Structure 1
Amino acid sequence: MRGSAYRRYGKRFLDLIGAVLLSVTFFPVLLLVAIVVRIKLGSPIFFKQERLGLDGVTFVIYKFRTMTDERDEKGHLLEEQHRLTRLGRFLRDWSIDEYPQLWNVMRGDMALIGPRPLIAEYATRYSSEQMRRHEVRPGISGWAQVNGRNAISWEQKFILDVWYVDHYSFLVDLKILFLTWLVVLKRTGISHGNHVTMPKWKRRTETEFGEELW
């Protein structure tokens, strides 16, 4: 399966075509959202952050900004739940904040479907098995996103991500694409407990996949 035409060049070709078509189709919506974010939240319009991509190489991900820069008296950013605005919550509920990642797909940083890219500081926390999630390009949506999204644990996410690496194909990606629309329409799994999205992944001491994490 690893040598299939889809894995070698078909997936990347369809990602590029899909990203271009979606960008053109939704351009009026993207422009409107950009204007509203600029008016309501100010500049910058986009949230940028280093994430881990294919083979663990970092890249800059783009999202529409959803939070303010409010800080406490010591200059530290407030917790996310205090900075997330009504506009930001709406954008997240409908996954509209993710649309700028179509640019990442066109650049080759990401795919339409794949494990979600995580922040760069997690690079040293993976077990070798968990690190396998970076054998493919990260995606805007993925197997973990349609099987619980942020409602499941980090460990469950990684297991689902590695499953995807071993089993992805055109039909699997098509299934995930279809399920993604259902998840977005139902607005399920947006948050984890009392957190806005997911709590930060902290280093663990228990053994997983037969290896000690940290």
Structure 2
Amino acid sequence: MWRSSRPCQRRKAGLVCVPMPAAIDPDRILDAALAVWREEGFRAATTRKVAARAGVGEMTLFRRYGDKGKLMAAVMAREAERFAPEAMTPTEDVAADLRAIVAGYAELLDRLGSVVFDFLLHAPTDPALAAVRPVPLAAVGRAAQVIAAHQAAGRLQGSDPMAAVLALLGPSLAGALVGRAQPGAIPPFDPVDMVDRFLDGWKTQAR
């Protein structure tokens, strides 16, 4: 005998089967939020637009994330997890580790596109971005931990890992900013060359 997988309730009119709500893929929501943010900017990226893009009810977003800021923080957190994951466990090869970080950061900037620049523009003044602000810093902090490990092993100079990682990644961000304002003005960065230049200033004599 065939049985419906839908829950059924007995009512006066007979047996009524109610369809179960389909499971919602969180990535579908985050993909939609990222797309709307990229296309329209944070301030214009309403939860209503995100819900429509994801094909879910707006109330679903509120139940899952609370508000737009927390939703976008979840977007950034997911993307930050994709930032050079293979490079976040330091090896004995400092140059290889740093090249993986630089290449991963360049890929992240390319993937997120206008979202990064929109965030940098509005983060200092928009209260709605308060939940998002810690996420990029945490991602950079993971890279700083790799540098700290190499400093502790005597492969790199310095006592401030965050200053070192900013020196390492700063050219990529500056190049992306200039390239966005004037496409083609700066050739793509070579991770090998960038790391070699960085190590010229930060390597220890023992290396």
Q: Which has the larger radius of gyration?
A: 2
Structure (1/2) with the larger helix percentage: 2
Q: Into which bin does the TM-score normalised by the smaller protein fall?
A: under 0.3
**Superposition TM-score, scaled by structure 2 size:** 0.27
Name whichever structure is richer in strand by fraction.
1
